[in-house]
């Protein structure tokens, strides 16, 4: 199923809404790690860590791959781009509109009409 | 006059102080005969503007890009109205090329600063309203994480 953009953004924010998942993501930002390292680091059970990793993977924030006997998690930094795009798109839309509003308010004929 | 964007997760805030009092800015914002003159910038012709200014009322705008003929429809429903001070409405936009950005929520505050008006636009992704209420406290952290990881991305550490 192709996911629409807003749904993808929703999943990313949902995944990031949990403090443990944010901490896991930041930990992974410094390098790929196996589940065992995260279990030790955050002092939570292996199933709990796996659950968090599944949420992060579903949101497209991490990928998992094998290295020898280890299964490592890796941050997909490009996944951060959709929320940033959302923010950029609307910032531009509103700034364009406000430019246009200011131009109209600066029109002396319009101002005279509005203030009469 | 001044403008600064800010962000809290997927909630976007744009501020601008314009040189006119709030009642004037509010009229230009809500009366179709003025709204059609500034709504979507110089690149577009306004084809239609309807504003049913009451809670539950629908606003609708249709514009066409002068260069490529692309038509865009914007519409939404008013959720709250405080004349001269505040508007809250839903915001849905799509075009004739199959692009649809879904529905979001916009609040506009008109704040008086001695005859000038600070316009504060808060734009939020509507589908996440409940999620945001549940996790309100975490949003600043989320935007910080996004900013940090995006910074690493821009430094060229790709996946």
Residues A46 and A92 in one domain: no
What is the helix (H) or strand (E) element at residue B90, kind and residue range?
Answer: strand B86-95
- Closest C-alpha among B90, B108, B14, B115 to residue A89: B14
Residue with the bigger pLDDT between B41 and B132: it is B41
Residues A36 and A87 in one domain: no
For helices A19-29 and A35-42, angle between their N-to-C axes, nearest 10 degrees? 120
According to the 3-state scheme, what is the secondary structure of B57-88? CEEEEEEEECCCCCEEEEEEEEEEEECCCEEE
Residues A66 and A86 in one domain: no
Residues A51 and A9 in one domain: yes
User: Could you report the predicted ipTM of this complex, rounded to two decimals?
Assistant: 0.74
* Residue A33 confidence (pLDDT) above 80: yes
Q: What is the mean pLDDT of residues B17-28?
A: 96
Q: How many CB pairs under 8 A join A and B?
A: 143
pLDDT > 90 in chain A, percent: 46
For helices A5-16 and B139-154, angle between their N-to-C axes, nearest 10 degrees? 110
Closest-CA residue of B relative to A103 is: B38
Distance of alpha carbon A27 from alpha carbon A24, whole angstroms:
5
Residue B70: phi, psi to the nearest 5?
Answer: -60, 130
Question: What pLDDT sits at residue B103?
Answer: 81
Q: pTM for the full model?
A: 0.64
Distance of alpha carbon A23 from alpha carbon B55, whole angstroms:
43
For residue A87, give its domain range.
Answer: 81-115
CA distance readout (Å), B122 to A90, B61, B82, B104: 10, 20, 16, 11
In terms of DSSP H, where are the helices of B6-124?
A: 22-30, 32-38
- Closest C-alpha among B19, B37, B11, B38 to residue B118: B19
Total of domains in chain A: 2
pLDDT > 70 in chain B, percent: 72
Distance of alpha carbon B41 from alpha carbon A93, whole angstroms:
9
Residue A63's domain is classified under what CATH number? 1.10.10.10
pLDDT band at residue B72 under the 50/70/90 scheme: very high
* Residue B154 confidence (pLDDT) above 80: no
Distance of alpha carbon B158 from alpha carbon A76, whole angstroms:
7
Domain boundaries, chain B: 2-127
* Residue B156 confidence (pLDDT) above 60: no
- Facing residue for B20 by CB, picked from A76, A99, A105: A105
pLDDT digits (tens, 9 = 90+) for A40-74: 998 899 999 999 999 999 988 899 999 999 999 99
Residues A39 and A87 in one domain: no
Question: What pLDDT sits at residue B143?
Answer: 58
Question: What pLDDT sits at residue B33?
Answer: 92
DSSP β-ladder status, B58-65 and B71-82: antiparallel
- Tokens 């600064």 belong to B4
Q: How close is the nearest chain B Cα to the Cα of A38, in Å?
A: 18
The answer to whether the CB atoms of B121 and A104 lie below 8 A apart is no
- Tokens 């799509």 belong to B94
Closest-CA residue of A relative to B41 is: A100
Residues A96 and A66 in one domain: no
Residue with the bigger pLDDT between B153 and A116: it is A116
The answer to whether the CB atoms of B145 and A9 lie below 8 A apart is no
Residues A63 and A11 in one domain: yes
Distance of alpha carbon B108 from alpha carbon B92, whole angstroms:
16
> Are A19 and A68 a contacting pair, CB within 8 Å?
no
Residues A58 and A86 in one domain: no
Q: How close is the nearest chain B Cα to the Cα of A104, in Å?
A: 6
Q: What is the mean pLDDT of residues B47-69?
A: 95
pLDDT digits (tens, 9 = 90+) for A2-17: 455 556 667 777 787 7
pLDDT digits (tens, 9 = 90+) for B86-141: 999 999 989 998 888 778 889 999 999 999 999 999 888 765 444 444 444 445 55
User: What CATH class is the domain B2-127?
Assistant: alpha beta
The answer to whether the CB atoms of A14 and B131 lie below 8 A apart is yes
Q: How close is the nearest chain A Cα to the Cα of B113, in Å?
A: 16
């Amino acid at each position: 199923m192709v996911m629409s953009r807003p749904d993808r953004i929703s999943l990313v924010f949902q995944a990031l809404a949990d403090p443990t998942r944010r901490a896991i993501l930041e930990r992974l930002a410094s390098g790929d790690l196996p589940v065992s390292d995260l279990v030790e680091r955050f002092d939570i059970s292996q199933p709990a860590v796996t659950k968090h990793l599944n949420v992060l993977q579903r949101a497209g924030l991490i990928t998992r791959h094998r290295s020898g006997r280890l299964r490592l998690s890796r941050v997909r930094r490009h996944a951060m781009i959709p929320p940033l795009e959302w923010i950029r798109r609307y910032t531009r839309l509103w700034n364009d509109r406000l430019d246009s509003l200011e131009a109209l308010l600066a029109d002396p004929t319009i101002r005279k009409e509005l203030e009469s | 006059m001044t403008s600064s964007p800010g962000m809290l997760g997927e909630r976007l805030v744009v501020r601008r102080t314009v040189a006119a009092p709030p009642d004037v800015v509010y009229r230009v914002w809500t009366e179709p005969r003025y709204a059609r003159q500034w709504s979507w910038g110089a690149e577009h012709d306004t084809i239609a503007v309807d504003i049913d200014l009451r809670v539950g009322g629908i606003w609708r705008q249709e514009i066409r890009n002068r260069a490529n003929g692309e038509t865009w429809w914007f519409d939404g429903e008013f959720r709250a109205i405080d004349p001269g001070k505040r508007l809250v409405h839903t915001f849905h936009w799509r075009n004739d090329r199959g692009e649809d950005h879904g529905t979001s929520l916009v609040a506009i505050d008109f704040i008086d600063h001695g005859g000038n008006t600070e316009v504060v636009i808060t734009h939020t992704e509507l589908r996440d309203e409940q999620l945001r209420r549940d996790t309100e406290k975490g949003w600043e952290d989320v935007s910080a994480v996004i900013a940090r990881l995006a910074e690493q991305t821009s430094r060229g550490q790709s996946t």
